[in-house]
Amino acid sequence: MQQHAMQRQALIQRIEADERTMTPGVLQTSVMADSHQAPYASDPNSINVGNLPQTYQPTIRESELTSRILDLMTSEDGSLRFQRSLLGQGFVYPLDLVQYIMQHGYILIIAAKDDYGIESVKVFIDFVKQYPHMFNWVTSALEENVVELMMHPTASKLILYCLRTLSYRQKLFLFQAATRNCKKLGKNAIGKVILEECIKFSQDSQRRNILNRLLYHALTLSKTSKGNLVLQFALKIGDQEFDRDICRVLKNHLEDLSTDENGSYVIEACLKSSGEHRSNFESLM
């Protein structure tokens, strides 16, 4: 415990040293523009950082350092300094910074929802993906909140970044989250884009799992303004097994869907799909 306290104090001192090289007060929340207030308390004596759930609350001794790091990650100048620190160009040792954030995973969740913070998190992920044990921790920390991030207007860009830059193995936790929350994502304007990207980037069993879950919720999604678009997207990827199965699932609801504002588009997409299943579907028209 004493060693942890000493490490924390040393990290505070290094951040303070880095701050002294910048314009005084540039990272203080009190002087930040009202239009870009960080979503947390900057009062070092406050236990509640940003009205977080109780499970997220840092101790009083940790709150000052947590606020400093969040100030660093979510301000324009601070984000650049944070990125430089991870590249070994600041006063703070990269591994010290990474270790603290790894112990307080909610920092990543908060920062990912901020316009400047998301850039900090991208660099953080680029750093830890080089070290499997660190990256595994990050996925564990994000897993509980990943669906929330997938539907957030800013944080969803981080998910897209991960889909495009991580190795296939590192992306598995995203495919698994998309599978488990297929219905929820499919009905959300932002979530449906992420779901489509997960389908596009996934392969083999991971893609099959997502498509099977889509089939399970096909009738419900067909009748929603966003869900029907996801089904149309899936019908265009050329997976004959999915094309056959969705026609089989929906053919018993043909009359209902044909007169539905959203469902009619799915029926039209089924008719445009190729193979014997289309002929069987057309015979019911």
Taking Cα atoms as reference points, which of 118, 122, 111, 181 lies closest to residue 147?
A: 181
With contact defined as beta carbons under 8 Å apart, do 190 and 220 qualify? no
C-alpha radius of gyration, the chain, whole number: 23
| Residue 222: predicted pLDDT | 96
Q: Which residue has the higher pLDDT, 159 or 137?
A: 159
CA distance 274 to 167: 33
Of the pLDDT bands very low, low, confident and very high (cuts 50, 70, 90), residue 97 is: confident
Cα 265 to Cα 261: distance, rounded to the nearest angstrom: 8
Determine whether 38 is exposed, middle or buried from the number of CB atoms within 10 Å of its CB (0-12, 13-18, 19+): buried
Per-residue pLDDT reduced to its tens digit, 226-261: 999 999 999 999 999 999 999 999 988 998 999 999
User: Which CA distances in Å does 212 have to 9, 183, 189, 216, 254?
Assistant: 51, 12, 21, 6, 20
CA distance 168 to 150: 18
| Mean pLDDT of the chain, nearest integer | 80
Q: Domain residue spans in the chain?
A: 2-215, 217-285
- What is the model's pTM? 0.77
The HSE-up count of residue 114 (CA atoms within 13 Å, CB side) is 25
Question: Taking the domain 2-215, which CATH number applies?
Answer: 1.25.10.10
pLDDT for 237-246, tens place per residue? 999 999 999 9
